[in-house]
Structure 1
Amino acid sequence: MNFWNRRNRTIVVGAVPVVAVFSLLGLPSIPGTNIDLTVPYAAEGSGPTFNTLGQVDGREVVDITGAKTHPTSGNLNMTTVSVRTNMTLAQAFKRWVTTDDTLVPLEHVFPSGKSSEEVQRQNAAAFASSESNATISAMNYLRKPLETMVLEVSEDSPAQGKIEVNDIVTKVDGEKVTLPSELSDKVKDNKAGDEVTITVKRQGKEKDIKVKLGELPKELRGDHPQGTAFLGVTTVAQPGGDIKVEYNLTDIGGPSAGLMFSLAVVDKLSPEELTGGKFVAGTGTIDASGKVGPIGGITHKIAAAKEAGAEVFLVPAKNCAEAVHEPPEGITLLKVDTLDDAIKDLKDYNEGKQADTCK
């Protein structure tokens, strides 16, 4: 690690006496109190990486049933960032000096006014959304039909006792629904107190259900105005018919696995291998249309992938400038803006053609 290229000399010189004083005095807390001298910073570094074509705890990371799958080889690794908090000044400085970790203000990890539990719930929801979007974008690429399934019914919501988990929502007031976003939009076209007819497929039979919409609770409102209609179901997109896609990674949060999940689905359902037997890693959010979005901690993720043995890394286009600032040797950084881009870049790379790289 080239320390002086990565750190600010002025800040280091100014910080050394402070850290030295606390270290020499051996003060773990404020004298006369039980208060630890922790700093309002978090350390971000390289986290674990998982092969989306492989297994975890004896289960396929991406498990597809109800359709013919094809053999895969190589790796399509998703990458993560590790986060350390509750550090003393000396611990933070040590990580800053002796590792490649980046120190960021604590509010970047735990936004002001939100508890760690709230952040964890948001990260879990974002991860679930990335799984849903990965499925949608892969099915769209493969030109396979989609449907909207009820994953959860909120307690004391208008839907409770009427709509059930595993119901397939097919229509709202007679208008066809394919994606969760379409269901959400059709509900919000109404007002709290309006009655709507939700058509669901349950155990193979269609059923019309009349539901009087409630008002979106304040804690879920976000940017929506007061009086926004509320049904009270959490839905996910899934392939139509018999195809089922299940993602079996736990204790991972955030939306940045979306691209690699989508590539794994495409690879397993396509006769041609995407990796060409190579160790490919990457990151990036993905939306239902297959658009790839930027993420945080790109340099840490590339470093983790290189350490694991990757020779190719898929970088969201908007992360390229940061990725090439100090790129590690021996790994090719492919620039991707969409799922189609990622598949084309991998094909070009495997065939020895000029692929679109971060410059």
Structure 2
Amino acid sequence: MRGVPLQNLPTALTAPRSRALALCALPVLALFAVAAFVPLPYTVEWPGVTADTLGTYKGRPVITVTGAQQRATEGQLRMVTITATEPGHRNSLWDSLRAWGDPEQVVVPTEEVYPQSNPKQANEVTQQQMTQSRDDATTAALNYLHLSPDQVKVAIDLGDIGGPSAGQMLALGIVDKIAGDGRGGDLTGGRTVAGTGTIDSAGRIGPVGGVPLKTQAAARDGATVFLLPRSECTQAKVNTPDGLQLVPVDTLAESVAALQALHDGGAVPHC
């Protein structure tokens, strides 16, 4: 095939200025092409698994009570998680831009998710946080029920799930399995209730972060009610799934009272 003579091309394409701009654009385009695949210090997060603290996780009971009669329960109390790219994984610019365009994903600096750059150390820290969360949830629940740890033993098994954010839902699960709503019924009223929040041994519920992703996970797995730390209401209202009622609380006692009010048709806190 014969080429097109330069004299037949538009003047705008053959002018020295145009040719110079075209030559300059080539390295810029190449730079962007390379940058799209260069690892960046960002982590992508998305809604993770949920687990019913009244039921089983990976075939094993989440909560087992000895020293007190364990109730048969209805409904669910689901703790929720966030899944993130591994601590040693670096996302490219292309990965990050794609995640920014997805309402069910967020991009955050890796150091905020994994302060420990070593993947093994990061996993050890999250498991230590879960151990502390289990202990505090047990103490808070038994204190609420006016029971002694010498009388009642609680075992909690959430497999390889780590971190501190299951505290509130674990404490509620213990209360429901031992005492229910205190009137012969279930705390859930037969509902699927999800939630998040740390808990200390005194029953105070603290913030955890990532609530918009957790509400997505809760709704996906059938929850209609979501318990959360009161301080995270504003964050929770971002992309709240339809049909999911946000219930803010500050303490375990408030969580129990809110669930009882839901069952009775009383006033329930809202964001």
What are the Cα deviations for residues 272-331 of structure 1, in whole angstroms up to 9, with x where unaligned? 310000010000000000000001100000111011111000011111111124422211
Are 1:138 and 2:141 matched, yes or no? yes
Q: How many Å separate the matches in 2 of 1:28 and 1:105?
A: 18
**1:22 to partner: Cα distance:** 7.0
User: Partner letter of residue 90 of structure 1?
Assistant: W
2:150 matches 1:240: yes
Root-mean-square deviation (Å): 2.2
| Equivalent pair of 1:123/1:255 in contact (CA under 8 Å) | yes
Deviations 1:69-103 (A, max 9, x none): 11111110000011114212112211222352111
Which deviates the most, 286-295 or 268-277? 268-277
Q: 1:105 to 1:53 in 2, by over 3 A?
A: same
Who is 1:184 aligned against? none
Task: Name the SS for the 1:76 alignment partner.
Answer: strand
For residues 258 and 290 of structure 1, what CA distance do their matches in structure 2 show?
9
Unaligned runs of 5+ in 2: 1-27
**Which residue pairs with 1:100 in the alignment?**
104
Residue 28 of structure 1: CA displacement? 9.1
Q: Taking structure 2 as the reference length, what is the TM-score of the superposition?
A: 0.82
Pair 1:279 & 2:192 matched: yes
Counterpart secondary structure, 1:121: helix
Q: Which residue of 2 aligns with 1:8?
A: none
> Do 1:22 and 1:90's aligned partners in 2 also have CA atoms closer than 8 Å?
no
- After TM superposition, give the deviation of residue 144 of structure 1 in Å: 0.5
Which residue of the partner structure matches residue 318 of structure 1?
231
**Contact (CA 8 Å) 2:57, 2:159: kept in 1 or not?**
no
Is this contact kept in 1: 2:111–2:117, CA < 8 A?
no
Residue 80 of structure 1: aligned partner: 81
Task: Report the counterpart of residue 155 of structure 1 in structure 2.
Answer: none
Give the structure with higher Rg (CA).
2
Q: Is the 8 A contact 2:75 2:190 kept in 1?
A: yes
8 Å CA contact 2:35, 2:93 repeated in 1 = no
CA contact (8 A) 1:53 1:264 kept: yes
Normalised to the residue count of structure 1, the TM-score between the two structures is 0.63
SS in 2 for 1:44: strand
1:229-268 matched pairs, under 5 angstroms: 239-241=149-151, 243-268=152-177
- Work out the CA distance in 1 between the residues paired with 2:103 and 2:205: 30
Distance 1:60 1:279 in 2: 17
Q: Which of 107, 118, 123 is matched with 1:120 structurally? A: 123
Identity %, equivalent residues: 37
Does the CA-based 8 Å contact 1:23-1:90 persist in structure 2? no
Alignment partner, residue 24 of structure 2: none
When you count strand as a share of all residues, which structure comes out higher? 1
Q: Which structure has greater helix proportion?
A: 2
Name 1:306's counterpart in structure 2: 219
Determine helix, strand or coil for the equivalent of 2:40. coil
Shift of 1:58: 2.6
Q: Alignment partner of 2:203: what SS?
A: coil
